[in-house]
């Protein structure tokens, strides 16, 4: 289980997704309009996932950031 935190300076539309090492989307953790402030999303993976590097991408009205995370079983 991991928790991803993000801060918003104003109300914006947010899309937070997880991708596997091949670039295939495996989960959407947040989608919709969020008010300003700190927010968190949790991800526990899914059955049958392999250990390795995964990526999460946060898109929020003109801002985009991708970060790496490791899944260890």
Q: Which range of residues forms the domain containing residue 47?
A: 2-71
Instruction: Please state the domain count of the chain.
Output: 1
Sheet with strand 12-19: strands edge to edge: 25-34, 12-19, 52-60, 63-71
At residue 49 the predicted structure's pLDDT band, cuts being 50, 70 and 90, is confident
pLDDT digits (tens, 9 = 90+) for 16-43: 999 998 999 999 999 999 999 999 999 9
If you average pLDDT over every residue of the chain, what do you get? 92
Q: What is the CATH number of the domain that holds 16?
A: 2.60.40.1930
Going by C-beta distance under 8 Å and a sequence separation of 6 or more, which residues neighbour residue 57? 15, 16, 17, 19, 64, 65, 66, 67
């Amino acid at each position: 289980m991991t928790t991803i935190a993000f801060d918003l300076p104003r109300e914006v539309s947010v899309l937070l997704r997880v991708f596997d090492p091949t670039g295939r989307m495996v989960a959407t953790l947040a989608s919709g309009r969020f008010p300003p402030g700190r927010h968190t999303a949790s991800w526990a993976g899914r059955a049958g996932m392999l250990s390795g590097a995964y990526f999460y991408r946060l898109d929020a009205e003109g801002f985009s950031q991708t970060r790496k995370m490791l899944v260890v079983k």
